[in-house]
């Protein structure tokens, strides 16, 4: 049915400009970070985090101090496992009651993420002159912002007297990148899309070492999935070859 104004939610903001979507608190739900470029006569409006949940987004956002914020980037800058939020502050103006001319030289903020959330008492500050915009796209894949991309192979028909034996691959894994695999099988080619992906210990596991033995997968069709993992959204592995060997029954 597409999109409709009758099927939407509305979230109050202050002229948002170049925002970010990510799972900031690692609860499995995507959160929305809104910058606050302006509002009325003052640029001193807080940026906002609307926390996602199974029921949508919480009504009361978390406010982070910012000055005419016009760009954001969510990334684990310090490698502690929590996403940090960098806010580009474009200009700082006077108070709501006593407006002053806009000052484009002001501080931008990097808020450090932690299990306790975000706070002005835990941030790094840098002075810049009127920055505007930061990222082209959010880090991570488009489905859940996870730091990986997945490739699904074509379907291979298994010979009647063979069973899958091992899975091997060649890949360059620099700068903390990695490649993991799962496989699935089916008796009918049209039903393989409904089969469950499997690792060495079931659907929640992955083959992580080249040459791994495949558990009993006696069937007629097989397919593999490669997960290309990045630690930071920048470096990526380079997968050049995948091979599944078969043994005779």
Give mean pLDDT in consecutive 10-residue pieces for the chain, a chain of 249 residues: 91 91 93 84 82 91 93 90 93 61 82 96 93 80 88 96 96 96 97 96 96 91 97 90 94
- The span from the CA of 225 to the CA of 231, in Å, is 19
User: Do residues 244 and 177 lie in contact, with contact meaning Cβ atoms separated by under 8 Å?
Assistant: no
How many CB atoms are located within 10 Å of the residue 199 CB?
A: 19
- The pLDDT, as a whole number, for residue 41 is 53
Q: Nearest-5° angle of CA 82, CA 85, CA 86? A: 140
Within 8 A by CB and 6+ apart from 186, the residues are: 192, 194, 195, 219, 220, 221
Are 183 and 224 within 8 A, CB to CB? yes
pLDDT at residue 39, rounded to an integer = 56
pLDDT score of 133: 83
Annotated domain spans of the chain: 20-129, 148-248
Whether the domain at 20-129 and the domain at 148-248 fall into the same CATH topology: no
CATH number of 148-248: 2.60.120
Cβ atoms of residues 85 and 111 within 8 Å: yes
Give one word for 115, left, alpha or beta, with left for phi > 0 and alpha for psi -120 to 50. Answer: alpha
Please state the pTM of the whole predicted model: 0.75
CATH classification number, 20-129, choose in 3.40.1420, 2.40.128, 2.30.29, 1.10.150? 2.40.128
What pLDDT is attached to residue 187?
Answer: 96
Tell me the C-alpha distance between 90 and 129, whole Å: 7
CA angle (221, 225, 226) in 5-degree steps:
145
């Amino acid at each position: 049915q597409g999109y409709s104004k009758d099927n939407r939610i509305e979230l109050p903001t202050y002229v948002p400009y170049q925002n970010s979507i990510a799972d900031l608190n690692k609860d499995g739900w995507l959160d929305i970070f809104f910058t606050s470029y302006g509002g009325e006569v003052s640029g001193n409006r807080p940026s906002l985090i609307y926390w996602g949940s199974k029921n949508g987004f919480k009504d009361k956002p978390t406010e982070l101090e910012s000055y005419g914020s016009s760009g954001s980037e969510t990334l684990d800058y310090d490698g502690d496992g929590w996403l940090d939020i960098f806010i580009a502050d474009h200009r700082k103006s006077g108070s709501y009651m006593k407006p002053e001319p806009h000052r484009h030289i002001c501080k931008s903020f990097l808020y450090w993420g932690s299990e306790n959330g975000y706070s002005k008492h835990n941030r790094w500050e840098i002075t810049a002159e009127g920055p505007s915009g930061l990222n082209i796209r959010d880090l991570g894949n488009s489905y859940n912002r996870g730091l990986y991309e997945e490739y699904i192979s074509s379907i291979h028909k298994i010979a009647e007297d063979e069973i899958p034996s091992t899975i091997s691959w060649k890949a360059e894994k620099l700068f903390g990148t990695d490649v993991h695999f799962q496989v699935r099988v089916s008796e009918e080619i049209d039903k393989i899309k409904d089969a469950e992906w499997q690792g060495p210990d079931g659907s929640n596991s992955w083959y992580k070492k080249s040459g791994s033995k495949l558990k009993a997968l006696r069937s007629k069709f097989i397919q593999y999935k490669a997960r290309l993992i990045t630690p930071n959204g920048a470096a990526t592995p380079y997968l050049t070859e995948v091979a599944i060997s078969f043994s005779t029954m």
